[in-house]
Amino acid sequence: MHGVQAQNYHIMTPAVGKDWALAWGCNAYVKELPYANAAYHYNFKPGESGKLTLEFWITPFDYAGCEGPRRAVESVLSENKLIGLAWAILDYDDANSEKHAFWNLSRQHTMALPFSVLDQELDLALERRFGRPQHPRQRQVFGVGMRHITEGRLDWPELDLSALPDGGASVPVGLRAQLKSALAEFIEEGLLRQGPDTFDAVGFDQVASDHGQKFVDFENLVAEEIAKHGLTGEAIDQAVRGTDFGDIRPAVVEALGRIGMTHDEFMQRITPGELMSFMDDLPTRYVTNVMRSAKHRQTQQQWEPNDFIDILALPVAAVYCEVVITEKQWVHRLRQGKVAQRYNTILLNDVADLVDVLVRASAS
């Protein structure tokens, strides 16, 4: 239930004719005295630009239930105590526009997409099987910002100081690094502010890029073939991995080229059973296919576009994160596929369970 273990405050800036904050959940008392208060100073009307100074304080709770403050348990803070704190700002230049920036303390930490991690996983799998390549490609799974998550897929402008009288030679190294960082943040902010009108103007067809529906259409075709051939149990797993091998073929061909082997040569040297083992040796593809196979077994559940988002995002997290919190259905299916044991990942479906995990981690 929202706000019971970790409180969530939506603070209005400024708050005119309304409460200073919205407490997300059933425990509205956490934003009221004696637990919280706020004060503003500003010289503009809502919707106008200007400077606003906000000072507020809140009371952290280990437990802030719906029963009211009588049963609430305030957190006991002490020096060097570890707490979790997130801070985010929705920045509107125009209150009537869909364009806005979302700023947070994490500086938009992101996680690589499955296909960008796949290159590294393919090289490592081939190295284990054939002893090469000698230098597998390395991919940083965690990084900062859109530039990390879109690596190799977008052309980002570089810092150009050639317009300066000396071509930028006099700019100190430290200042140059700060300018490059500022430029990257400026470009990222600009991209995040763009709404659908801008994408339409540059020719981006949002309808044609409906990946979620295309994913559903593909999985429905797979389901039809499974039903047509009366596949069950392990045969479904093999069919799913077979379709996935076809899906990642371009990346496989590129990886094989790095070790001087063609796709045909690879297929001649490997048995069907070894091909299944090879697919399972690609961590994010293993998790992907565990999720897909489980869904295909549940024929009463229809494929939905939202499944595309889950199957795109969860595999990287399930392999490379220590703790993953997701929907109960996926936790159940990932545990059935022994993902937790295989990658030493703690799988949770309730954020409240994270408290015990963090307590145990801090004690170890």
Query: Each residue of 212-229: pLDDT tens digit?
Result: 888 899 999 999 999 999
Q: Is a pLDDT exceeding 70 seen at residue 102?
A: no
Q: If you average pLDDT over every residue of the chain, what do you get? A: 83
**107: region left, alpha or beta (phi > 0 left; psi from -120 to 50 alpha):** left
Helix axes 283-297, 234-247, angle to 10 degrees: 130
pLDDT bin (cut points 50, 70, 90) of residue 48 is confident
Specify the pTM: 0.64
Share of residues in the chain with pLDDT > 70 (%): 84
User: Which residues, in sequence order, are CB contacts of 164 under 8 Å at separation 6+?
Assistant: 170, 171
CB-neighbour burial class of residue 138 (10 A; exposed 0-12, middle 13-18, buried 19+): exposed
**Cis before 114 (ω within 30):** no
Is the pLDDT higher at 128 or at 112? 128
Q: How many angstroms separate the CA atoms of 128 and 136, rounded?
A: 11
Q: How far is Cα 227 from Cα 224, in angstroms, rounded to an integer?
A: 5
What is the arithmetic mean of pLDDT over 192-219?
A: 70
Report the pLDDT averaged over residues 307-332: 90
Three-class secondary structure of residue 350 per DSSP: coil
**Domain locations in the chain as residue ranges:** 9-85
Distance CA 132, CA 346 (A): 32
- Return the pLDDT at 154: 65
The mean pLDDT of 306-330, rounded to a whole number, is: 90
The b/e string for 97-108 (b: 16+ C-beta within 10 A; e otherwise) is eeebeeeeeeeb
Q: Does residue 321 register a pLDDT over 60?
A: yes
Whole-angstrom distance, CA of residue 30 vs CA of residue 8? 10
pLDDT at position 204 over 60: no
Maximum alpha-carbon separation in the chain: 75
282 burial level (CB within 10 Å; 0-12, 13-18, 19+): buried
Cβ–Cβ under 8 Å, residues 7 and 58? yes
Contact in structure between 294 and 329 (CB atoms under 8 Å): no
> pLDDT tens digits for 177-188?
888 878 877 777
As a whole number of angstroms, the distance between CA 184 and CA 147 comes to: 8
* Averaged pLDDT, 148-158: 69
Amino acid of residue 32 = E
Task: Evaluate if residue 195 carries a pLDDT over 90.
Answer: no
Q: What DSSP designation does 94 have?
A: S
β-strands 346-348, 9-11: how paired?
unpaired
Q: ω before 34 within 30° of 0 (cis)?
A: yes
